[in-house]
Structure 1
Amino acid sequence: MKFNLRPATPDDLPFRLALHNSLFPDNPSTLADVQRQDDTRRADLVHRRFIAEVDGQAIGQGVYAQQEWMYHPQKFSVSAQVGREWQGRGLGKLIWTRLEEEVRSLDAIKLFASVREDETRALRFLTERGFAEEQRERESAVALADARLDGLEEAVKRVQANGYELTAFADFNIPDKEIKLHAFDREASQDVPRPPDEVFTFPELARYWETIHANPNHDPSLWFVAIKDGELAGLSQLNPIAAQPDVLDTGFTATARAHRRQGLALALKLVALTEAKQRGYKRVKTGNDSTNAPMIAINDALGFAEEPAWLWMTKSGL
């Protein structure tokens, strides 16, 4: 068996897609999605991908990269993946050895990796290499046929009585609405739970909207906002998934600091889920930091059922 690790090329996109979909069947992607991720990646950030081959056949990949949304020049996300039929043969260890050599040459001080809690082989692989859980993302989903949406009318009346208007972002017709949403997101994101000692590197206005508009699946009629006196007070986003046409993924749900405890998050979630059901979508997925008790409570009340969590694993002191 001849093992080889070479730099990835554009010709590897179909293999990368097939590998992803075989390893993560619950979160499938499309070739267009993979291509877009490559096309929109910032060229000034370190990103290296290697394809692992056995006797000339692609069987896995290794990746390390600086993170745009949580940037530090000496901190890298890492991933060593091997097709399931090739696992258990020591090939992941060979990929990892190369990744570790590369990030050490860049004076890395911390590595990040993500793994689903029920992927015991992958979790053991990381743990054996000194990674420890630093953050947990609680995943959940609801079948819209079973969602508890009967509180919609009452929730909407409550926020309207306090002077709020609920509308789709697509119908929020003011010239600077993209500027307003960017500013809203920048402020609200500061309160999102994140790993200790890490800070968000929030993108500037042009970059923020560049990545959104590059996605042909983006649908602003499925982003819902709460408005008061012409200002954004709350947001709840649903995003179509190209590989799962009847499923939606929840984006950011948040309330501006000055408008919290008004029932906006619940009302916006109810509006969004009701609209999704009316359009014929079957299922909605979401993820929340396990410490975000208020949002988890809202999702539980709406009928979301817990699924295996994603773990944010880290290793320091290389």
Structure 2
Amino acid sequence: MTVTVRDLSPDAPDDLEGFARVRRAALPFFLLTPESLAHDLTHMHPDAHYRPFVAVADGEVIGTAQVHLSHESPEPGQGNINVYVHPGHTRRGAGTLLVRAAEEHLAAHGATRLLAWVLDEPGNRAFAERHGYRASRSAHFLRLDLAHGTLPPLQDPPPGVELRTGSDFAADPRPLFELDAETTADEPSDVDTEFTDYEAWLKETWQHPLFSAELTTVALVDGRPAAFSAVRTDGGTRYGTVMTGTARAHRGRGLAKLAKNDSLHRARAAGYTEAITGNDTGNGPMIAINRWFGYEICATEVRHVRELG
């Protein structure tokens, strides 16, 4: 049975559905839908050179690759390759073909360093090592049973602090962009990130089809955003926090915990039954907060790096 690799077609529903199906099977801890794929294809910044690939056998999508440059990094040449093969179709060469296509694309656009997330399982790590990648930092996926778990009780904000929803910033989201940029810059990572393009942030984050402004909670101090918990949902029962953080001047006051607790309670009241999130293993404070909420580690992935040339 021949396996071929080609570009994902945004106009082919079977491609989008197949890509999402493979990702759900291989990485069930990450929110992704056909609609979010189509949005990324049409709205990702041109400098990212975003190019998703699919591996196909007998007309069926059995593997995927999301490939792009970290255009928001101050250090040029950082390429990203995330390859996943359906668990029922491994050891057929799809992964190798996807890696080869991804590396050629990134190298052609000036990548000098390639980074790939790999689930922390012996077979996956061995695959990465065979292709010249070395292990770097790691991160956890965490899960919380919203339907049956017990959340900490809601707390009243301290004096001078007010809780609002992301929807309250619909007319002018720029203050949330500025807070997101500051907190993202301080996240532990192999690649430094600087959000400087507000218009790109609007397209890729604020207007993303999975983003829920209604369930996003923002803590204001003296009327200015100081902490937030940003949310995406799959439109069904799954809820994910994709960034929770506090401005540097307000850290150590429990504001991120306050915001996330409010969001989780509202998500459960809205009928969401499962909460997922991810943390770098070096981010002890956020892991401690998530454990306080009742999250449990459900998987670990390891960043692998390959230097080119």
2:20 match: 17
Displacement of 1:83 after TM fit? 3.8
Taking structure 1 as the reference length, the TM-score comes to 0.83
Aligned to 2:282: 291
Q: Does 1:192 align with 2:190?
A: no
Deviation at 1:96, TM superposition (A): 3.4
Matched with 2:137 is: 135
Q: CA deviation at 1:228?
A: 2.0
- 1:164-184 Cα shifts (integer Å, max 9, x gaps): 1122232469x64x1211112
State whether structure 2 residue 31 is matched by structure 1 residue 33. Answer: no
Change over 3 Å in CA distance of 1:117–1:279 after alignment to 2? same
Q: 1:42–1:302: structure 2 CA closer, same or farther, 3 Å change rule?
A: same
Query: Any conservation in 1 of the 2:23–2:64 contact (CA below 8 Å)?
Result: no
Q: Whole-Å Cα distance in 2 between the matches of residues 60 and 167 of structure 1? A: 41
How big is the alpha-carbon RMSD for the aligned residues of Structure 1 and Structure 2?
2.7
For 2:164, give the aligned amino acid. T
Letter in 2 for 1:160: P
Match of 1:169 in 2: 166
1:1-318 correspondence runs (5 A): 2=2, 4-10=4-10, 11=12, 12-27=15-30, 29-54=32-57, 59-62=62-65, 64-70=67-73, 72-106=75-109, 108-118=111-121, 120-144=122-146, 145-150=148-153, 152-153=154-155, 156=156, 159-161=157-159, 163-171=160-168, 176=172, 178-195=173-190, 198-242=191-235, 245-318=236-309
How far is 1:227 from its partner? 1.3
Give the deviation of 1:123 after TM superposition.
2.0
Following superposition, the deviation at residue 125 of structure 1 comes to: 0.5
Taking structure 1 as reference, are residues 224 and 51 closer, same or farther at Cα in structure 2, changes over 3 Å only?
Answer: closer
Q: Which has the larger radius of gyration?
A: 1
Cα gap change, 1:74 to 1:247, in 2 (>3 Å): same
Conserved? CA contact 2:68–2:106, under 8 Å: no
Tell me, what secondary structure is at the counterpart of 1:237? strand
Q: Distance in 1 between matches of 2:186 and 2:195?
A: 13
Gaps of 5+ in 2: none
Contact 2:79-2:113 at 8 Å conserved across structures = yes
> For 1:290-310, what per-residue CA distance to the aligned partner results, in whole angstroms no more than 9, with x for missing partners?
111111111111211111112
**Greater displacement, 8-17 / 181-190:** 8-17
TM-score, length-normalised on structure 2? 0.85
Equivalent position SS for 1:47: coil
Q: Quick one: structure 1 residues 182 and 28, their matched pair in 2 at CA, closer, same or farther if it must change by over 3 Å? A: closer
2: CA distance, partners of 1:166 / 1:239: 19
* 1:33–1:262 distance in 2 versus 1, CA, 3 Å: same
Q: Could you tell me how far 1:138 is from its partner in structure 2?
A: 1.7
Name structure 1 gaps, 5 residues minimum. Answer: none
The alpha carbon displacement at 1:193 in A equals 0.9
- Report percent identity of matched pairs: 26
Number of residue pairs aligned between Structure 1 and Structure 2: 305
Which amino acid is 2:307 matched to?
A: S
**Alpha-carbon distance in structure 2 between the residues aligned to 1:58 and 1:274:** 38
8 A Cα contact 2:211 2:231, kept in partner:
no
Amino acid at match of 1:305: E
Query: Does structure 2 retain, via aligned residues, the 8 Å contact 1:149–1:274?
Result: no
The C-alpha deviation readout for 1:120-158, integer Å capped at 9, x for no partner, is 3222100222212222122211112323313x23xx2xx
Moved more, 204-213 or 109-118: 204-213
